[in-house]
């Protein structure tokens, strides 16, 4: 199974500076596409996060609901 990476889609106009903006959800990316089908990875516009799945499970409100449901964790 491919590794799941949690990434924060980044707005061109904003700079997140390592903080998770409360309006932005983390999406689960596998092979460069989010599980919810909304996003493809573009290195220029995505904040790389070190968020682990464990942290996501503890803070589900940080993550995209659709991505979570694809992982069967909702």
Least distance from C-beta 34 to Zn ion, angstroms?
4
Choose, by CB under 5 A, the member of 20, 30, 36, 51 that binds Zn ion.
36
8 binds Zn ion per the rule CB under 5 A = no
When computed from its CA atoms, the radius of gyration of the chain, rounded to whole angstroms, is 11
Q: Pick the closest to residue 6 from 44, 55, 73 (CA basis).
A: 55
Residue nearest to Zn ion (CB): 64
Binding site for Zn ion (CB under 5 A): 27, 34, 36, 64, 66-67
């Amino acid at each position: 199974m491919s590794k799941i990476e949690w990434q924060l889609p980044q707005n061109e106009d904003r700079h997140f500076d390592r903080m998770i903006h409360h309006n932005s959800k983390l999406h689960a990316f596998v092979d460069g596409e989010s599980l919810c089908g909304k996003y493809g990875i573009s290195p220029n516009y995505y904040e790389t996060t070190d968020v682990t799945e464990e942290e996501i499970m503890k803070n589900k409100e940080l993550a995209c609901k659709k991505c979570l449901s694809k992982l069967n964790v909702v």
